[in-house]
Amino acid sequence: MSKSWFITGTDTSVGKTIASCALLQALSAKRHRVSGYKPVASGCDLMPEGWRNSDALSLQANSSFSLTYGEVNPVAFKEPTSPHIAAVMENRQIDIQQLSDGLDRLSQKSDVVIIEGAGGWYTPLNERECLSDWVIKEKLNVILVVGIKLGCINHALLTQRVLMSENIHLSGWIANSIEARNTHYNAYIDTLKSRLNAPLIGEIPYLSGKQKSAPLAQYIYLNQLV
């Protein structure tokens, strides 16, 4: 059975995908057999192969061995909105057992599975369940991606408090700089270091355009991951 980490964020669009890809690259460089997993994705583009989500394609490309798109992303919706809304729009239901089955299949062929969430911690899947319920069911350890901007300290501390209340282990956090210029970057990082009860395992600088396809492993501190 492989080791799995669930990648959540302080909000949507804070860099979960680039952080997940950085982790995949860093683990691959250590000769681990690693796979990326995006159990639920909203927002797809029509390609010759069918509807595809760009985040899932990035995880597929950065896995250390060949995976089909369906293995990486078993549940995909066209509309870029919360999964429970997208599911209603397509007259579909999300069954968390399908997410577990997909994880089991990847775990059987991987040393490590990096699982990218959708949105923040409490992303609804249906009328009853959130993606966090699935994480709890699977007893997954969590890595938190903090998008460094005004408000990130509050968002990070609120997420940590929720994880603690639900007995979820926070293995580490990754700082992702999402602004080209941030005068208070160092102050934010120092505050988060002192208040988050988990090690900083990566700092990703602001990357734009083609920079995002550059090697990312250099920004991850695997020796800090617990």
Please state the residue numbers annotated as binding site for substrate.
Answer: 42
Q: Which of 38, 78, 149, 210 is catalytic?
A: 38
**Catalytic site includes residue 38:** yes
**Who's near 172: CB < 8 A, 6+ residues apart?**
143, 144, 198, 199, 200, 201, 202, 224, 225, 226
Describe the chain by its helix, strand, coil percentages, rounded to 5: 40, 25, 35
Q: Of 111, 116, 104, 112, whose CA–CA distance to 12 is shortest?
A: 116
Binding residues for Mg(2+): 17, 55, 116
Helix count and strand count (H, E) for the chain: 8, 10
Compute CA 129 distance to the chain's CA centroid, rounded to the nearest angstrom. 19
The gap from C-alpha 110 to its chain's centroid, in whole angstroms, comes to 17
Q: What is d(CA 52, CA 50) in angstroms, rounded to the nearest whole number?
A: 6
- Known binding-site residue numbers: 13-18, 42, 55, 116-119, 176-177, 205-207
Distance CA 87, CA 203 (A): 35
Active site residues: 38
